[in-house]
């Protein structure tokens, strides 16, 4: 897929530090998310985005007609841990540039990978209901973050990610999975928060904290909304006893069932960046 010359250039970009805007860390700390311009070049997105799309469509098993799907199934096609399926996908997922941003925003010495996931919202795909990711994760610390990387410019009709600012600091809805119920609850509580919903330019990415509530609108365009994500955690994160069936499944699947009370240091959760 890549020529040797272009491959070297792309790999260098993925490992070269990105200069955060002066207020980015403070903004993330207060609001629970940040959007950053020009984090990745069009060339990186085109080359790795094509590879990721090929993997998504090859590995996808959700083929039911849209009208027969649940709310969750209508939200996106979801393919996990592409880094374990393809060596070039691994290059993208293991980007030191992105991992370093995650460490800086969380104000930690380094980060481990929890897992990656591609999220493809098909044309006519439904909303992604309001939710907080860390409901699913048996982790002790809120020092977790997800980078959301659109693989194309993402205008509002495509359903870009939207954030309930400062919602990472409240307890509302922390016992709800992604569902019609979580959407209804947060919709009733939105007067407490400022909603941030804006398009993403090509090369723009966002990072959001594990307990920040976020959603995405339906894709009413005629093109798929292609997104790659990586979830990072503090490299010193501790596994806690699962509090629901989803956390139990995550513990076994993404944390290799490492002992409760220990650092998730199996081969599934490599350190991607450390000072």
pLDDT tens string 93-145: 999 999 999 999 999 999 999 999 999 888 888 888 999 999 999 999 999 99
Q: What is the mean pLDDT of residues 62-86?
A: 73
> 270 in a domain, yes or no?
no
* Count: domains in the chain: 1
Domain that holds residue 171: 4-255
In order, the DSSP letters of the chain are ---HHHHHHHHHHHHSPP---TTHHHHHHHHSEEEESSSS-HHHHHHHHHHHHHHHHHH----S-GGGS-HHHHH-EEEE-GGGT-HHHHHHHT-HHHHHHHHHHHT-SEEEEEEEEEEEE-TT---EEEE-GGGG--BSSS-EEEEEEESS-B-GGG--EEEETTGGGS-TTTT--SSHHHHHHHHHHGGGS-EEE--B-TT-EEEEETT--EEE----SSS-EEEEEEEEEETT--B---SSHHHHHHHHHHSTTPPTTS---STTS-EEEE-
For residue 20, the model assigns a pLDDT of 97
For residue 3, the model assigns a pLDDT of 61
pLDDT tens string 141-191: 999 999 999 999 999 999 999 999 999 998 888 888 888 888 888 888 878
Higher per-residue confidence, 237 vs 5? 237
> 55 in a domain, yes or no?
yes
Residue 236: phi and psi, rounded to 5, are -100, 15
* pLDDT > 90? residue 229: yes
Q: Mean pLDDT, the chain, as a whole number?
A: 92
Residue 176: phi and psi, rounded to 5, are -115, 135
State both tokens at 265: 């240091």
CATH number at residue 250: 2.60.120.620
Q: What is the mean pLDDT of residues 28-47?
A: 97
Q: How many residues does the chain have?
A: 275
> 261 in a domain, yes or no?
no
pLDDT tens string 244-265: 999 999 999 999 999 999 999 9
Q: What is the mean pLDDT of residues 16-26?
A: 97
> 115 in a domain, yes or no?
yes
State both tokens at 202: 């090509």
Q: What is the mean pLDDT of residues 28-49?
A: 97
> 263 in a domain, yes or no?
no
**Which residues face 273 on adjacent strands?**
111
For residue 152, the model assigns a pLDDT of 97
Q: How many other CB atoms are there within 10 angstroms of residue 87's CB atom?
A: 7
Local confidence band at 76 (pLDDT 50, 70, 90 cut-offs): low
Local confidence band at 9 (pLDDT 50, 70, 90 cut-offs): very high
> 266 in a domain, yes or no?
no
Closest CA to 132 of 241, 51, 33, 218: 33
For residue 61, the model assigns a pLDDT of 66
For residue 66, the model assigns a pLDDT of 56
> 121 in a domain, yes or no?
yes
Q: What is the mean pLDDT of residues 228-242?
A: 98
* pLDDT > 90? residue 71: no
Considering only 63-72, 75-84, 243-252, which range has the smallest mean pLDDT? 63-72
Q: What is the mean pLDDT of residues 206-223?
A: 95
* pLDDT > 70? residue 233: yes
> 271 in a domain, yes or no?
no
Q: Determine the Cα–Cα distance for residues 15 and 17; give it in Å rounded to an integer.
A: 6
Share of the chain above pLDDT 90, in %: 76
Torsion of CA 159, 29, 22, 36, to 10 degrees: -20
């Amino acid at each position: 897929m890549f020529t040797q010359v272009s491959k070297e250039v792309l790999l260098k970009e993925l490992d070269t530090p990105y200069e955060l805007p002066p207020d980015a860390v403070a903004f993330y700390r207060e609001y629970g998310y940040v959007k950053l311009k020009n984090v990745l070049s069009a060339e990186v997105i085109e080359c790795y985005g094509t590879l990721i799309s090929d993997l998504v469509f090859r590995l996808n098993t959700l083929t039911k007609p849209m009208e027969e799907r649940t709310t969750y199934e209508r939200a996106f096609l979801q393919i996990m841990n592409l880094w374990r399926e393809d060596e070039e996908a691994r290059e993208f997922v293991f980007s030191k540039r992105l991992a370093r941003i995650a460490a800086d925003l969380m104000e930690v010495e380094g980060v481990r990978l929890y897992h990656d996931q591609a999220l493809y919202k098909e044309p006519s795909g439904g909303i992604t209901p309001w939710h907080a990711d860390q409901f699913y994760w048996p982790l002790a610390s809120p020092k977790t973050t997800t980078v959301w990387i659109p693989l194309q410019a993402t205008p509002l009709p495509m359903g870009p990610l939207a954030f309930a600012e400062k919602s990472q600091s409240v307890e509302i809805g922390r016992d709800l999975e992604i569902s019609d119920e979580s959407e209804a609850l947060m919709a009733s509580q939105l007067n407490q928060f400022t909603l941030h919903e804006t398009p993403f330019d090509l090369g723009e990415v966002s990072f959001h904290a594990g307990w920040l509530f976020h959603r995405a609108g339906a894709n009413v365009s005629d093109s798929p909304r292609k997104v790659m994500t990586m979830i990072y955690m503090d490299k010193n994160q501790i596994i806690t006893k699962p509090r629901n069936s989803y956390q139990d499944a995550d513990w076994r699947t993404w944390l290799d069932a490492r002992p409760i009370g220990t650092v998730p240091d199996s081969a599934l959760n490599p350190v991607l960046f450390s000072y």
